[in-house]
Structure formats: structure tokens, C-alpha cells
């Protein structure tokens, strides 16, 4: 990998690309490696129903609001888990799976997925909705001493605001491939040179496809392009499978990567929730299991955190589903987390306790938890977190999410 990277740098220099402008040409300083801790951020898109994942069966109102919840797994007496969590119960028992209840971003009232996700990924307050062009995870990465361009990866085919920004965040998908003849690569770099968006993406694609662990290095002729496309097609026909994404992320995390981010869709359960939620949850549990299995010894240093744009209505709607709400839940997993418990204050489910008499009321800003993770895992300064990563957030008391 070192060889191909140097090779690439020399080639770019020979072409006269403006190196300073490329986000890839961040010097790799091995002496200042950013520690050994790993953070995996999963965005659950669509609004994950925290009340179905983590069922507050000890609240007297719950049975009325969710009459058809079915069987649950006992967690804490007060909380019961959705039956789909079963594969993760060994992790729960070992203290490697935990939850935070009744959290949300500062987003309120309009309950739009898209604004909600923007705010979740931007990490800002509602007043700067739509104005932030970079994500909190990118800003966090920018503060980590010794971060290189392999330190952070956004995995999958979708673009994430979370990862966007000035710090060098790699973007790649397990089924992406790029095989070019040396001549084609030179010409391509030349053609892209004057358009920064295309130039940077091209350089990164060439670079990442070379460091892709599964791609065979060596001579690649133009004719192989057909095979490469066919292989991508084969891989892509299976879709963005959660275990493929998780395995790819784990490969990176076992190497130089310290942060990985990706999305899991399918949480917008307006209808027949018992089916839709179970499907989405199985993708999440599969992801966490695959991370656990593939990370090996690195699992012990890993924190996985899954967050969503909002929770859903406390009451079931008229079609066995739930509509967009406010307070939700956060999932934590990994050998580094202080699991086996549900953190956070419980607001209650009586109608007067609900937000706008319909949604679970959030009792804490989830950005405070994310900020504390940055502090615990990467030693980030509290003030920098409150002003730079999550501007305007008060971190408050340390919730003690990690060991």
C-alpha cells in the first residue's frame, strides 16, 4: 500500500496537478497516529421508532399506546427489547450493547425526514438548518491529531453530509472498482484537472481503488475495464448488503482507519410496523454482529453508535404503524462501551408528558452524547467540542458511555 501511494504521488507531481489543493495530499505522519480507539457511526434513516426497539413496558401507558407490541426480550425490568434484538443479547449480557433513551437532535415540529437528517448530520442547532455544508464527524476528524486520509471512511454508495467537509474523509463502496491503464489514468487526471470537484473525486477514486484490499495490484489493461465493470455489476446486484458494508468497514478499521460511517435505511414505518421494523432491525443487528465478528481483537477498542433523525409518534397510527415524532433512542455497541444498561432520563408516556401530546419528549440532546464519545475516544477538548464540532451544545455531565 505504501508503494502504490508513493507511486501515485509521484505520478500526480509529474503531471503538475496542484497538489496543495487536493484533499488527498495530507502528509501521513506515522509518529502521531490518532490512538487505537475506533468509532463507527451509523445513521438510521427514516426515523427509527425508539419505543419499538426499546419498549418501556414498565410505564403504565405503554400497553395502551402500543397494544399489539407482541413478545419482548427482558432487558431491565422497566425496558424490554424488540424480539429482533435477540441475536445481540449475548452482547447485552457481556455489557457490549447499550441504549440511551429519550434523546433527539434539536430539530422540532416540522418533522421532515430531510431537514431532520440534515440537522443530525450537520450537528448544529435548528437556527442554522440548511446553512451548514459540513458534517460534525468531519469537523471532529479535523481535531484529531495525526489524522491521515485513511483515518476516516464513509462507506457505501450514498453520500453523507456527516462526512463532508475540509478534513480528509475517504468515500468508498465495497462494490466500487476502478481499473485504468496507466495512460488512461494520466489522461484522465489531465482532463479533470481544472474542475476541482471532478479532479478531487478522480484522484481519490484512483487512490482508494489501489488501496482496496481485494483489488489485485499490477498491470491493468483497458480490456480489463469490461471485467471490472462486470464484477462491480455482480457485486452491486446483491445490493448494499449490510454485512458487505460492515465487513468492508471492519477491514479498514483493523488497519489504519479509526472512524467509519454509513447509513442503514428503511426505518420509516408508517404502516404494518411489526413487519417493516423487524426487517430494518435485522439489518442493524446483522451489521453489529458482522462488525463484532470481523473486527477480531479490535472490537475491544470499538464504539458503534447508531442515531436517527427523530423518533416516532408514541401512539400507533391507524394502519399499524407510527408517524413522524420527536424523541427517539440511540444504540451503542462495541467492546469499548459501558453496555448492559439503558441510559438517560425517562420523561413518561402520559399524554401531558408527551411532546406536543403525541411524541416521546426528548430529555437530552443526542449531540451531548456524541460529543462525550469524541472526548472519550479521541481525547478531544470539551470546549472545542462545544464550539467547533457541535456549536452551541452544552455537553453537561459525562454520561459515561464508554469504559
Partner 1 sequence: MGFTPERAEIRFGCGLSPTIAAPASARVMLDRLADPDHAATRFPIPALTQTLPSFVALRQARRDRKQAKTKADQKRLRKAYRKLVRANRAEAAGWLGHTFLRRALTGDGLRERVTAFWADHFTARGKSGFWATAYGPYVEEAIRPHVTGSFAQLLRAAATSPLMLHYLDQTASIGPNSSRGLKSKGKRGINENLAREMLELHTLGVDGPYTQGDVRELAELLTGLSFSLGSGFTFLPGQAEPGPETVLGITYGGDKARLDDVFRALDDLARHPATATHLARKLAVHFTGDNPEPDLMAEIAARYRDTDGDLMALYDVLLNHPAAWQDGLGNVKQPIDFMGSTFRALDLDPRHMPVGEPSKIRDLILVPMALMGQPYGQAPAPDGWPEADADWITPQRLAARLQWAISVPFRLRRTLPEPAVFLTHALGSTAPEPVRFAARAAETRAEAIGIILASPAFQRF
Residue 132 near partner 1 by CB under 8 A: no
From the list 126, 198, 255, 345, which residue makes contact with partner 1 (rule: CB under 8 A)? 198
Residue 113 beta carbon to partner 1: minimum distance, rounded to whole angstroms: 6
Contact (Cβ atoms closer than 8 angstroms) between residue 177 and residue 228: yes
Residue 137 beta carbon to partner 1: minimum distance, rounded to whole angstroms: 16
Residue 219 near partner 1 by CB under 8 A: no
Cβ proximity to partner 1: between 99 and 262 the closer is: 262
Q: Which residues of 329-361 are buried (b: 16+ CB within 10 A; e: fewer)?
A: bbbbbbbbbbbebbbbebbbbeeeebbeebbbb
* Euclidean distance between CA atoms 153 and 163, whole angstroms: 8
Residue 221 beta carbon to partner 1: minimum distance, rounded to whole angstroms: 9
Cβ proximity to partner 1: between 101 and 105 the closer is: 105
Part of the chain binding partner 1 (CB under 8 A), chosen from 35-43, 194-202, 364-372, 390-398: 194-202
Residue 369 beta carbon to partner 1: minimum distance, rounded to whole angstroms: 26
* Euclidean distance between CA atoms 200 and 192, whole angstroms: 9
* Terminal-residue alpha carbon distance, the chain: 33
Three-state SS sequence of 84-127: HHHHHHHHHHCCCEEEEEEEECCCCCCCCHHHHHHHHHHCCCHH
Residue 193 near partner 1 by CB under 8 A: yes
* Residue 193 DSSP label: T
* Euclidean distance between CA atoms 51 and 81, whole angstroms: 9
Residue 265 near partner 1 by CB under 8 A: yes
**Binders of partner 1 in range 269-328 (CB under 8 A):** 270-272, 317-321, 323-324
C-alpha closest to that of 26 among 163, 124, 142: 142
Using only C-alpha atoms, what is the Rg of the chain? 22
Q: Tell how far CA 113 is from the center of its chain.
A: 17
Residue 230 beta carbon to partner 1: minimum distance, rounded to whole angstroms: 7
From the list 37, 105, 209, 302, which residue makes contact with partner 1 (rule: CB under 8 A)? 209
Residue 113 near partner 1 by CB under 8 A: yes
Residue 36 near partner 1 by CB under 8 A: no
385, HSE (Cβ side, Cα atoms, 13 Å): 21
From the list 73, 215, 225, 300, which residue makes contact with partner 1 (rule: CB under 8 A)? 225
C-alpha closest to that of 100 among 377, 385, 372, 350: 372
From the list 176, 245, 298, 307, which residue makes contact with partner 1 (rule: CB under 8 A)? 176
Q: How many residues bind partner 1 (CB under 8 A)?
A: 66
Residue 19 near partner 1 by CB under 8 A: no
Residue 149 near partner 1 by CB under 8 A: no
Q: Are strands 97-104 and 328-333 parallel, antiparallel or unpaired?
A: antiparallel
Residue 131 near partner 1 by CB under 8 A: no
Residues that bind partner 1 (CB under 8 A): 45-46, 109-115, 157-159, 164, 170-173, 175-181, 183-184, 187-188, 190-195, 197-198, 201-202, 204-205, 208-209, 222, 225-226, 228-230, 232-233, 236-237, 265, 268, 270-272, 317-321, 323-324, 356, 358
Amino acid at each position: 500500500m505504501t508503494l502504490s501511494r508513493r507511486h501515485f504521488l509521484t505520478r500526480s507531481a509529474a503531471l503538475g496537478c496542484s497538489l496543495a489543493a487536493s484533499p488527498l495530499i495530507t502528509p501521513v505522519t506515522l509518529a502521531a497516529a490518532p490512538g487505537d480507539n475506533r468509532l463507527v457511526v451509523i445513521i438510521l434513516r427514516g426515523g427509527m421508532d425508539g419505543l419499538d426497539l426499546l419498549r418501556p413496558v414498565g410505564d403504565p401507558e405503554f400497553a395502551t399506546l402500543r397494544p399489539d407490541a407482541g413478545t419482548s426480550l427482558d432487558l431491565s425490568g422497566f425496558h424490554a427489547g424488540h424480539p429482533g434484538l435477540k441475536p445481540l443479547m449475548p452482547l447485552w449480557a457481556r455489557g457490549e450493547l447499550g441504549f440511551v433513551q429519550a434523546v433527539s437532535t434539536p430539530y422540532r415540529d416540522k418533522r421532515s425526514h430531510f431537514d431532520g437528517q440534515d440537522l443530525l448530520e450537520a450537528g448544529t442547532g435548528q437556527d442554522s438548518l440548511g446553512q451548514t455544508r459540513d458534517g460534525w464527524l468531519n469537523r471532529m476528524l479535523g481535531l484529531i491529531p495525526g489524522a491521515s486520509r485513511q483515518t476516516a471512511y464513509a462507506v457505501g454508495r450514498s453520500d453523507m453530509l456527516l462526512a463532508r467537509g475540509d478534513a480528509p474523509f475517504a468515500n468508498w463502496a465495497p462494490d466500487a472498482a476502478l481499473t485504468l491503464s496507466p495512460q488512461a489514468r494520466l489522461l484522465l487526471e489531465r482532463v479533470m484537472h481544472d474542475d476541482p470537484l471532478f479532479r478531487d473525486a478522480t484522484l481519490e477514486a484512483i487512490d482508494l481503488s489501489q488501496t482496496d484490499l481485494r483489488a489485485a495490484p499490477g498491470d491493468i489493461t483497458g480490456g480489463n475495464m469490461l471485467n471490472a465493470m462486470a464484477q462491480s455489476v455482480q457485486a452491486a446486484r446483491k445490493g448494499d448488503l449490510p454485512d458487505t458494508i460492515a465487513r468492508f468497514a471492519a477491514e479498514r478499521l483493523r488497519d489504519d482507519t479509526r472512524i467509519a460511517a454509513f447509513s442503514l435505511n428503511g426505518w420509516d414505518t408508517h404502516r404494518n410496523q411489526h413487519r417493516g421494523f423487524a426487517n430494518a432491525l435485522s439489518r442493524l443487528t446483522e451489521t453489529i454482529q458482522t462488525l463484532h465478528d470481523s473486527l477480531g481483537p479490535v472490537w475491544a477498542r470499538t464504539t458503534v453508535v447508531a442515531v436517527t433523525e427523530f423518533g416516532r409518534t408514541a401512539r400507533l397510527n391507524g394502519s399499524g404503524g407510527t408517524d413522524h415524532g420527536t424523541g427517539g433512542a440511540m444504540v451503542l455497541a462495541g467492546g469499548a462501551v459501558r453496555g448492559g444498561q439503558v441510559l438517560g432520563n425517562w420523561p413518561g408516556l402520559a399524554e401531558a408528558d408527551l411532546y406536543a401530546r403525541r411524541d416521546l419528549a426528548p430529555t437530552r440532546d443526542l449531540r451531548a452524547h456524541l460529543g462525550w464519545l469524541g472526548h472519550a475516544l479521541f481525547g478531544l477538548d470539551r470546549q472545542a467540542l462545544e464550539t467547533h464540532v457541535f456549536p452551541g451544545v452544552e455537553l453537561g455531565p459525562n454520561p459515561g458511555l464508554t469504559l
